[in-house]
Structure 1
Amino acid sequence: MSLTATTLTDGKTTEDADRLAQAERQGLRLAIICRTVAVGAAFLWVGGTWAFSGFYPNPWIFVGLGAFTAIGIVHASVIGTRFDRWWMKYAIYLVDATGICMTFAFFPISSSGDVPQILAFRAYGIYYLFPLVAMATLSLSPRLVLWTGTAVVVGWWAAFLIVVSGMERTLSWGDLTPGAGFDAYVGVFLSPDFVGRGNRVEETGFLFIATAILALAVVRARRVFRAQVKAQAERERVAATLGRYVPEAIAKRLIDDPSALAPQERHAAILVMDIAGFTAYSTSRSPTEVIEQLNGFLAGCADVIARHDGVVIQFTGDGLMASFGTPIDSTAPEQAAIAASRGLLSVAERTDFSIRIGLAAGTVASGSIGSSNRQAFTVYGDTVNRAARLEAHGKVLGKAVLLDEAVAAHTGWDTERFSAQELRGITGKVEVFALA
């Protein structure tokens, strides 16, 4: 008795693209949440500074922070809806980068108005813009990461040039003469006219390098995600296709762990079922009616066996053979086989079939056999033969379910014990029990 697997062909699927798009939307929502939290933290920081240190901030700061928060909430609410547009995520990051950079260019450091605006670049810095690029990576979009990094760099330089263009005199590192001493360095660096163009080059250079690395990391993350989704979709497709030809449990085990179907010996219980009087039943009916009735009956039987962690190894025309304990583990294979037998009797009663069942337990050899192009899963051994002979011997004794001694020892139901029986093809006599 064996079961043959079928060769599967590859097929294209769009499920990986759909799942990736969903992950991008979820990541973008998460980025907006982080953005809102960051803006809220800035709001509390500025307000706390005002309340506890006496520093009076420009009130437009609160207006700007409130506007940033509102934009984020609106954007998060339309992500994934019919109002969502591809350009919105680029627009909101452009607004963020422009808003922060223009703050450095136009928001006075002091309300007195006599502090040079260039000091904002020295007192604070470009690190305020790094979180924007970091949050963009949550969207799993390398284009958005590069867009955000570019917007930050361009905005930072635009703000810097706006401030510098309004200065009457500027100093930079190039104004130091070779061999300049301590006083010269202090005089240039601490001068309110010092702009530090070289510092801006370093800042934006490192930021863009970090942006490129993060974009590359996102590209790799997308590839890993696609590979995982494709593998999962392929596993599901194979299981669905293979399950039409082999037991679903075997199909899943074969996909999850092919080595589990390697030839091995395990303790298991074997159930062999056959329809009594099927020849007479089929003779009086059309072939179409017989097939329809048989398919419905065997489908119900397979469901019963699956519910008790059994595996239908083979449909044998008007019957089947199932195993409990291999290839799927079972803590109590004998009890599971008995419970399944009672369920099969109920199915047979509902469909007006009369069935015979043989149950045997012991060491069973199982595994997939065959060539590299064609594989079959089978169980064999004395236990399998004994179950088959017990099913056939049920006709002799007039009993629906016969058990061997190993199965009978684990049943919680009443059994009828017969004297040792001679079973065809079995050497020696066998203790036989009938399920009451």
Structure 2
Amino acid sequence: MIQTSAGELPDTSRLLRAEQRGLRLAIICRTLVVGAAFLWVGSSWVAFGFYPNPLVFGVLGAFTAVGIAHAAVIGTRFDRWWMKFAIYTVDILGICAVFAFLPLVQGEAVPQILAFRAYGIYYLFPLVAMATLSLSPRLVLWSGGVAVAGWFAAFFVAISDLETTLSWSDLTPGASRADYEALFLSANFIGRGNRIEETGFLMIATLILALAVLRARRVFMAQVAAQAEREQIAATLGRYVPEAIARRLIDDPSALVPQERHAAILVMDIAGFTAYSAGRMPTEVIENLNDFLSGCAEEVSRHDGVVIQFTGDGLMASFGTPIDSARPEQAAVAASNALIAEAGEAGFSIRIGLAAGQVAAGSIGSSDRQAFTVYGDTVNRAARLEAQAKALGRSVLMDANVADRLSKDNLVSLGPQHLRGLADPIPVFALPMQMPD
């Protein structure tokens, strides 16, 4: 897995932000649950004549206040790792305390075990479930463990005021229905076996949720690490091949298998580079050339082109492959004008040859070392047109395939031209621009 210079995993900060967003979402859910509890208790009071202890509303309000306070510090300098454990502990033990100490109704000596039995452990399940939003398996396990311990503590407190207790074991073999009803409806019935059963299921659910969160974290971290690795590979390959090709190779290696595509090819060379180099230090020449060609590569990329290779004091670029282009001919001409402007700022004069048509494009080489290239008659024409530009004193020459996609008002027809290496002359066009002396 890729590491930063400090030795920390690059996905740590992203995972922390995801945990913080999850905690905030849990607080929102918690607030909605408390709001639903307010409505439920209030509606029961009005609709069914059930008069709950008013302290219930105070407890629910306190829960809301604690949650809002916690949400306010998440992600700030006041945030601490233990706060999320504390907030869930307070919530869970608070609910358990309600069942252990808050009387079911006021004014009557009703055993607290009836309040305990009237509601149930299912009130704790949403809290454990909401802990999963934090993407912390430890918090899920902590919440489940606290819920089990708190529930049993509340149970023992609820039965502490009973002089005698009854459970399912007090039924004699062959007990009648009346015996079952008498036992279950008795104020002394505590159902110890039921408590063990419900907490067991809660712990099983907790373990499953913790495992799900752990898997989600691993998937998240694997995706982030893979993305970081892809970015590092693209940056590394980008120093040796065009970045666009490197990224496409990573995303879809099959896209670079040899194939025939329609494209426009641009071949550029610096005019008089030999004379320019004479009398200058080689380091100065290379530095200036690197700066100029870097600017040229950026201009090509801005016009949806890809620099296929640098040719000493020039370059060859493709428009339409391997990166799709809706109008490759127009893009190539626009890039030519941008390169001429770039050359003027750098103090160079350039010649450009443009040709369009079918080209063979793809990766070539051995299994250990490959390069992306384009080849075919279209590539040859572009190279010959660049060479012919010197003889004709033009900055940009193009074949008819390129010229047919442009307005003829902006072109100069030079008629059929014999190009070196081609048997028959071809129509040649130029931009209305003379090369400077």
- TM-score, normalising length: structure 2: 0.95
Counterpart residue number, 1:207: 202
1:371-386 alignment to 2 at 5 Å? 371-386=366-381
Aligned partner letter, 1:414: N
Which of 13, 22, 33 lines up with 2:17 in the alignment? 22
How many Å separate the matches in 1 of 2:174 and 2:385? Answer: 105
Give the aligned residue type for 1:405. Answer: A
Offset from partner CA, 1:313-370 (integer Å, 9 cap, x none): 0111111000000000011111111111111111112222111100000110011111
Counterpart-to-counterpart distance in 2, 1:428 and 1:84: 78
1:89 and 2:84 aligned: yes
**Separation in 2, partners of 1:11, 1:228:** 12
Match of 2:425 in 1: 429
CA distance in 2, matches of 1:417, 1:276: 22
**2:105 aligned counterpart, secondary structure:** coil
Q: Aligned match of 1:332 in 327, 338, 348? A: 327
Is the contact between residue 355 and residue 399 of structure 2 (CA under 8 Å) also seen in structure 1? yes
Give the secondary structure class of the aligned counterpart of 2:112.
Answer: coil
Q: Which moved more, 1:378-387 or 1:178-187?
A: 178-187
The amino acid across from 1:12 in the alignment is: Q
Query: Looking at both structures, which has the greater relative contact order when contacts are Cα pairs under 8 Å and sequence separation is at least 6?
Result: 1
Cα distance in 2 between the residues matched to 1:45 and 1:179: 41
1:182 paired residue number: 177
1:398 to 393, 401, 404: 393
Is 1:360 the counterpart of 2:351? The answer is no
What residue ranges of structure 1 are gaps of 5+ in the alignment? 1-9
Matches of 2:313 and 2:65, distance apart in 1: 70
- RMSD between aligned residues: 1.4
1:256-286 CA distances to partner (integer Å, 9 max, x unpaired)? 1111111111000000000111100111322
Q: Which residue of 1 aligns with 2:310?
A: 315
Tell me the SS of whatever aligns to 2:180.
Answer: helix
**Aligned equivalents of 1:236 and 1:253: distance in 2?**
12
What are the equivalent positions in structure 2 for 1:79-158 lying under 5 Å apart?
A: 79-158=74-153
Of residues 53-62 and 281-290 in structure 1, the stretch that sits farther from structure 2 once superposed is: 53-62
Question: How big is the shift at 1:53?
Answer: 4.2
Q: Report the number of matched residues.
A: 427
Letter in 1 for 2:11: D
Partner of 2:250: 255
One-letter code of the match for 1:117? Q
User: Could you tell me how far 1:49 is from its partner in structure 2?
Assistant: 3.2
Q: TM-score when scaled to structure 1?
A: 0.95
Structure 2 unaligned runs (5+)? 433-437
Distance in 2 of aligned mates of 1:156 and 1:352: 82
Comparing 41-50 and 358-367, the one that deviates more: 41-50
Secondary structure of the residue aligned to 1:418 is strand
Of 228-237 and 24-33, more deviation after overlay is shown by 24-33
Using the aligned pairs only, state the percent identity: 71
- Give the corresponding residue for 2:435: none
Residue type of the alignment partner of 2:291: G
Residue 63 of structure 2 is aligned to residue 63 of structure 1: no
| Cα distance in 2 between the residues matched to 1:317 and 1:125 | 80
Deviations 1:72-93 (A, max 9, x none): 1111111222212121111111
Identify the range of structure 1 (265-274 vs 339-348) with the bigger mean alpha-carbon deviation. Answer: 339-348
Do the aligned partners of 2:416 and 2:428 also contact (CA within 8 Å) in 1?
Answer: yes
Please identify runs of 4+ aligned residues in structure 1 that moved more than 6 A. none
Question: For residues 11 and 186 of structure 1, what CA distance do their matches in structure 2 show?
Answer: 66
